[in-house]
Amino acid sequence: MRAFGARLAARLRAGDLLVLSGPLGAGKTTLVQGIAEGLKVRGPITSPTFVIARVHPSLRQGPPLVHADAYRLGGDLEVDDLDLDASLEESVTVVEWGEGLVEGLAEDRLEIHIDREAGDEARLVTVRGVGARWADTPSDPLED
């Protein structure tokens, strides 16, 4: 998941929203760690479950990473309280457990669902691009 995240980061730019879903332990935070490595942002990247959201500034001239966790949020009003839309245009924003809660933040987004396959190591990742930003992206956004 970390290597996939690092490769995905090469395609990301300021204003991108990624919505991650999948069961506990599927690898959502590990994916974000890879994205952070690829974006070259300040870490460490840990699960933001209790902090809800963290901003990781760039260590070079790239966009910061906003890493949020909607697991404990009760609905749209609590999502609004995070003010994710305030930094959306200048950041890469990744929201774990955001399915059904944060899609309204941006017309363009990547929806990434992670499932665990048999055993602890294998993962099945489904990536769905939404909006004009991802319209010309193949079903695998890492293909050229």
Mind listing the domains of the chain with CATH numbers? Answer: 1-133 (3.40.50.300)
Residue ranges in the chain whose pLDDT is less than 50: 77, 144
On average, the pLDDT of the chain sits at 83
At residue 119, the pLDDT reads 66
Asked if 20 and 115 count as a contact pair (C-beta separation under 8 A), the reply is no
pLDDT digits (tens, 9 = 90+) for 5-25: 999 999 999 999 999 999 988
Give the Cα separation of 19 and 97 in Å (integer).
7
Q: How far apart are the first and last CA of the chain?
A: 20
pTM: 0.86
Give the Cα separation of 41 and 25 in Å (integer).
23
At residue 77, the pLDDT reads 46
At residue 71, the pLDDT reads 72
Task: Say what angle helices 28-39 and 2-9 make with each other, to 10 degrees.
Answer: 40
CA 48 to chain centre: 12
At residue 88, the pLDDT reads 75
At residue 137, the pLDDT reads 66
Strands laid side by side in the 65-69 sheet: 53-56, 65-69, 92-96, 17-21, 109-116, 123-130
